[in-house]
Structure 1
Amino acid sequence: MTEHRGWLNFLYLKATTPDDWSEKGTPHEWWDKTSTAPMCSFPRFDLQESTYAIGLMADRTPAWREVYSEILDEIAERSITYWAAVDWLTQFGHDPDRGNYPDAWKGTLIPEEFWGNYDAPGWTANGIAPWGFNADPIGADGNLFFKGWLNLTQSLHTYVSGYDKWASPFNLAGAYTSRFEWTQHQLAEHLHQQWLNTPMGPHCENTKAWPFCLSAAGLGLMMYDKVFDKNLHGAYFDWLSFTKDKFYGFEKNGSLQWVTMYYDGQKKHHHKTLPPHGLAIAFYAKPQDPEFAELLYRGAINFLGWDNTSLPISNEFMPDPRMFALGLTVSREFGDLVTYERLRKYAEENFEPRFFGPNDSQFGFWFNLGENWPRGQLSALAMCAEVCDPESWQNLLINLTFRSIFLLQ
């Protein structure tokens, strides 16, 4: 049993086992709503990130298309439920707990000058001025980190299955048990128009626009264009051209000095962070602008010393395993064998990879957390490296041969 077969077995079980994502239920505990708090500690991030390795495997073994399609369909169905947008549907107004945030967030996640009077990343603040309350997770001015990834998930499902399911109206869960009717084409057009109207990029939480999330939304528009022969992806390049000298700091020699974690347009504040944050953006930017993605990638690994064999790999600057999982996958994508082999060894020693389940037929990364199931978001990102050859992630988005054989049959 190989690791990727074991992961596929587990993900199939995870996706096809019924659970209740409605207002009356709770997702099964194996859906990760814990990782990278407070920004990503919602179960939809496990949904989203579980799709990437499936897309990569579909390109490698298209004969298993029906299995991949079933998994993606189950994920896409969950992605329009209450629990997929639970933050937008429950976090109204300013966070009442913002006076009690952990001290470790001061200056790292929240600007020091706003400490005690500023909502943390991850708090959507639905209803605050000037936007007001919006019960619709797609129709809202904000919530980019929901709708951008939803478009990517639906595009991947259509791409792999050849079934244009989301062109038909679907009901999206809204606040207070409301429902809103959308199609994917309406979603993509809405996202495109919002982007054209917002040069710095539409925001996720109210006030905060994230280059990381916008890069993922751009990838969704890229795949949407490829699948449906549309022309919406240009909004990403307009945004990237406008913000390259605003969201990133480069020295004259080209070395990366800082990255904007998020931009608050109300306060005109760039919340800057260290170069390793560029790994998250590079993953989504690679198929869209490979040269720029490599600048971010090289800047991150040079800062961390991952490509320097005389230095040990440590978590001094990144205690969260997410960036290590992304680094493992992105180094593989760029064909950086030195960094990849070093990170692969680190992963073997620190990610707690193991088989489990009946006859050890399932596989995941447990990260020494003592939990009942592999940690979903982190495992999903690390698994991309297991099924990825150099350039595979980029080719997934531009591989017209696969498209011509399977799309919309």
Structure 2
Amino acid sequence: MVYKIPSLIDNKLSPRAKDLIEKLDDFVKNDCIPSEALYYEQLGKGEKRWKIIPPVMEKLKKKAQSLGLWNLFLSKDYPEGANLSNLEYGMMAEIMGRSLRIAPEATNCSPPDTGNMEVFAKYGTPAQKSRWLVPLLRGEIRSAFAMTEPNVASSDATNIETSIQRIGNEYVINGRKWWISGSGDPRCAVYLVMGKSDPKNQSSHRQQSLVIVPANTQGVQVMRPLTVFGYDDAPEGHCEIIFKDVRVPVENIILGEGRGFEIIQGRLGPGRIHHCMRCIGAAERGLDLMLTRVTDPSRRTFGKLLAEHGTVKADIAKSRMEIDQARFLVLNAAHMIDKVGAKRAMKEIGMAKAIVPTVLLNVLDRSIQAHGAAGVSGDTPLAYMYALGRTLRLADGPDEIHIQQIGKLELRRAKEIKEKSEVKSINVSKL
């Protein structure tokens, strides 16, 4: 299936972006998806999976680089980027989402590296960029973002308890983090660690700082990988980490003390949309698998093809409608980021983040149902895709946080609405 650019935005894309979309579509369809089985075969089983980088991934990365399909995520706001708009990248991320495990890494567009690279690009000093951003952009190392903690409700980032204390020319870090994606990867060379440097500050949003911690720093202890519905996502993983008397030079602070909350808001805006973009691609693949299954001549029940049953047709129709609605919601959010910036596009970003992962889960659930027992097995990618999709209702803020924020933003319009004559109360009995 060739990716079709939505007609409403075709004229908003540069010729270069259209060319990249065509190349990426071919690369994902003919290189990434066919390589998935080999990737898992090379990864193997047991503990060695945490030390192996499947050779097929490195082969795919070289091909992606040769095609110019590299670091596409970093927008035209940054000189290090691919000079694409968020809207243009939106369609590319959707295409990558059809091969969630392979394509993003093969193009150096996979989280958490994308968000971390944006932090370095937006807030880093020249020295920080030279040491960390350059090798990340080259795909030579990987990174992790350490914010979530097991002992507090981390959906409210002001709750975090990890201590960042300045002693002389060093910061000393103590705390426990978990669900730190990418931290199990043998290539993970650096953590961005969120903690409290000024816990007594009257502003709860000025208490936090973000510091750079090289992964091999003394006192960093990776305790265990955590699983999502039984999947451990080796070799990247989602690990629990203890930082015990970890010392880094003061030059490792990003932007300055008390700026941590500001940084994570800048990091998460585009990143949330990247997740949603990939969800659309994953949903499309789920629907494709369903269509293939229900039109298989060998799959008949009660004398009919599965596709001939009304309930199956309804599931297909619902999936098509939901995916297309979700796509335009995401592309609108991307367009608003381009137009007014992520901070002023929070409502559009929040709506996409609250809705799109659920759409993905709905589509995958219907596809799983159409596949019967095979749908929940490892014989199809559906169960794993469902596990990945379910985490996105929690990652980068749970649904409830975004819904609450959307409600607040809408309520701000109440005064203006009341002042408009066309919405004033009307006494119908006098008409």
Which structure has greater strand proportion? 2
Normalised by the length of structure 2, the TM-score is 0.29
- Larger relative contact order (Cα-Cα within 8 Å, sequence gap ≥ 6): 1
- Computing the radius of gyration from Cα coordinates, the structure with the larger value is 2
Normalised by the length of structure 1, the TM-score is 0.30
